[in-house]
Amino acid sequence: MPLLVMKFGGTSVADLARIENAAKKVQAEVERGYDVIVIVSAMSGETNKLVGYVEGTSKLYDAREYDAVVAAGENVTAGLMALRLQEMGIAARSWQGWQVPINTTSAHSSARFVSIPRENIDAKFAEGFKVAVVAGFQGVSHEGRITTLGRGGSDTTAVAFASAFGAERCDIYTDVDGVYTTDPRITEKARKLDKIAFEEMLELASLGAKVLQTRSVELAMRYKVRLRVLSSFEDTDETSGTLVCDEDEIMESKVVSGVAYSRDEAKVTLVRVEDRPGIAAAIFGPLSEAGVNVDMIVQNISEVEAGSAKGATTDMTFSCPTNQVARAKKAMEDAVAAGMISYDDLVVDTDVAKVSVVGIGMRSHAGVAATMFKALSKENINIKVIATSEIKISVLIDRKYMELAVQALHDAFELDKV
């Protein structure tokens, strides 16, 4: 039988009524002739509640027990979904991660997949079962301990199952009806895309778009798993939502497909760092070891101040998430104490935002940067830092101009037009 993977997020299974609604969507696919693997998240708010229980019990908790507790939310949803499907006359059963088994590494709360053997679920399909309801976000280590994959891990679970079972498609049901050219809350001109390439979706996800978890898109791109993003709360058919697919499936892409943004950015500048071979490694090595996710990097022109015993110096600027600033400062202070680097000052600006334009069409079209910078200039928005890749241009700007910048860029690239 052809097979589909269907994933329902927390808002899609937030209560019994929504679980029933999701079950009806599964029923529709079964009636079309599919065997279905359903991946479920915990009911909305449950994971946060479970995390609160752990933190309220132990501040320095055992990560293995943390995983055992927080994985319980998905187990409840899986059981309830299987019960609802059974009430509808559909042969279904629930599966916890260890029962499949979903084999993962032992990195608790951030585990990665090792393998997903098909034998157990395939055997149930062969017996006549039509639906396997699998608890997302979790697996089992080689020590036999429950593991979790990190927030958003159910998306990744769904893609991994679609790859392992050779699914025709992986449908991700959320509270939005697809992927838009930008956030519809910022501009009413935002347009839903029928298709978007894996690379574009990966960039948008990593740059702040919340529709899909970044790891899930990486996995889908690697194993060519066709993803479809669609709403749990609307009637859908085979043309609904947005298809995330290989570039070859898209007839002709616009130069720019979308505008992404991230509010939670900080700009960190090391003032007058010694300019010598290896200085970048001496700065960014400790930042990496401290787990700081550095994004945009700018090094100023080297200067030699008269009378300075320091020799040539430069300013080094980088961006990182605001919640990692304290970690970045500590890493730099430790590097100074270890004699690895020296600088005159460390300046942090947490009142910035990152705005990016993304599109695979940039590969073959010139002038994207000029159009972007002209649009921002017309709105008197100053650019603090610029970073580019083959299909992306990102700028760091004052946070108060973020929404204006998104609207201006959406208009400049005419993203409201098909």
Mean pLDDT over each residue of the chain, to the nearest integer? 93
Q: DSSP assignment, residue 192?
A: B
The answer to whether 287 touches 328, Cβ cutoff 8 Å, is: yes
Tens digits of per-residue pLDDT, 24-74?
999 999 999 999 999 999 999 999 999 999 999 998 899 999 999 999 999
pLDDT in tens, 233-250: 988 877 789 999 998 888
- pLDDT value at residue 36: 98
SS3 42: coil
- Give the rounded percent of residues in the chain with a pLDDT score beyond 90: 80
Task: Give the pLDDT of residue 410.
Answer: 97
pLDDT given at position 75: 97
Average pLDDT over residues 129-147: 97
Q: pLDDT, tens digit, for every residue of 197-256?
A: 999 999 888 776 678 888 899 999 999 999 999 999 988 877 789 999 998 888 767 899
Sign of CA dihedral 253, 256, 258, 264: positive
Q: Is residue 304 predicted with pLDDT exceeding 70?
A: no
- State the greatest distance between any 2 C-alpha atoms of the chain, in Å, as a whole number: 85
Q: How far is CA 20 from CA 10, 17, 39, 85, in A?
A: 14, 5, 15, 8
Residue 305 pLDDT: 62
C-alpha span between 276 and 305 (Å, rounded): 15
CA–centroid distance for 216 within its chain: 7
Residue 309: its pLDDT value, please? 55
Q: At 386, list the tokens.
A: 């610029």
Question: Is 313 in contact with 305 (CB distance < 8 Å)?
Answer: yes
* pLDDT reported for residue 249: 85
Residue in 173, 160, 159 with CA at minimum distance from that of residue 24:
173
Look at residue 298 and tell me whether its pLDDT is greater than 80.
yes
Query: Model confidence at 161, in pLDDT bands (50, 70, 90)?
Result: very high
- Angstrom distance (rounded) from CA 104 to CA 213: 18
Distance (Å, rounded) from C-alpha 184 to C-alpha 210? 13
pLDDT over threshold 70, residue 306: no
